[in-house]
Amino acid sequence: MKANAYKGFLDVRDKNEICFTAMISSFISDFDDVSVVELFSKMRKLGLMPKHSTLNYVLGAYADLDMLEEAKAIHSYIMKAFGESDQCLGNALIEMYAKCKGVDEAAMVFKEMDMHNEFSWTAMISRYIELKRLATLDQGRKTHAYDIKLGFQSNAFIGSALIDMYAKCSSVNDAFQAFSNMGEQDLVTRSTMMASYAQHGHGEEALKRLSDF
């Protein structure tokens, strides 16, 4: 069925955004990242651009294929086409760069975004953790301070990510500070905090401190 759809697509003489988007969506549903990238490349050459919703999946395909240099070119192309990225597209760019191990590029997109949501923050913090790019606690603390400035310190998802980040940086006190700043500590965050103490041999201190919450 998909083969017939692609054959029909190839037979269309004057292809527009709708034709390309429909075919790209078909490849996306099949998790065929290579075909998605190839078709999007042809689309670019014709000066066509899919809708934001489809473009987010296209960026995901570049990420899955670990195509960092190509991702940079796509980012530039998107900026020329749209002038700026909205929150959803910005998050997709962050995720793409982070998966391609381009954390500096992801951070650049993050800083240029006018607004951040939970996904923006957790994506950045999680990628820093995974790639161990936090060479010093200073970087982690700056991220945490900015998080507090924007009022995200009480968010459970971001709080858990910060606790995990500090734990991996061997700073249990900072992890506990992040835990304390959360509006409500659920079972997941309490478990994360407990694991952080246990990991660094502070089991008794964990029981003492966490008993107050």
Residue 113 located in a structural domain: no
Domain count, the chain: 2
Residue 160 lies in a domain: yes
Residue finishing a domain among 59, 83, 107: 83
Please check whether residue 68 lies inside any domain of the structure: yes
Q: What is the extent of the structural domain holding 161?
A: 137-213
pTM (whole model) above 0.85: no
3-state secondary structure of 90: helix
Answer yes or no: do 79 and 1 share one domain. Answer: yes
209: helix, strand or coil: helix
Q: Which residues contact 40 (CB under 8 A, 6 or more apart)?
A: 20, 24, 50, 58, 61
How far is it, in rounded angstroms, from Cα 111 to Cα 128? Answer: 15
| Residue 121 covered by a domain | no
Token look-up 């962050």 returns: 94
Place of tokens 């078909």: 26
Q: Tens of pLDDT along the chain (213 residues)?
A: 566 777 777 778 888 888 888 888 888 888 899 999 999 998 888 888 887 788 888 998 998 998 989 888 888 888 887 766 678 888 888 888 888 888 778 878 887 887 777 777 777 776 666 655 654 566 667 767 766 666 666 667 777 778 877 877 777 788 888 887 776 777 777 777 777 777 777 767 666 666 665
Same domain? For 78 and 153 the reply is: no
Residue at 183 is within a domain: yes
Residue 14 lies in a domain: yes
Asked if residue 194 is part of any domain, the answer here is yes
Same domain for 147 and 79, yes or no, is no
Is the domain of 73 the same as that of 1? yes
Last residue of a domain, one of 45, 62, 83: 83
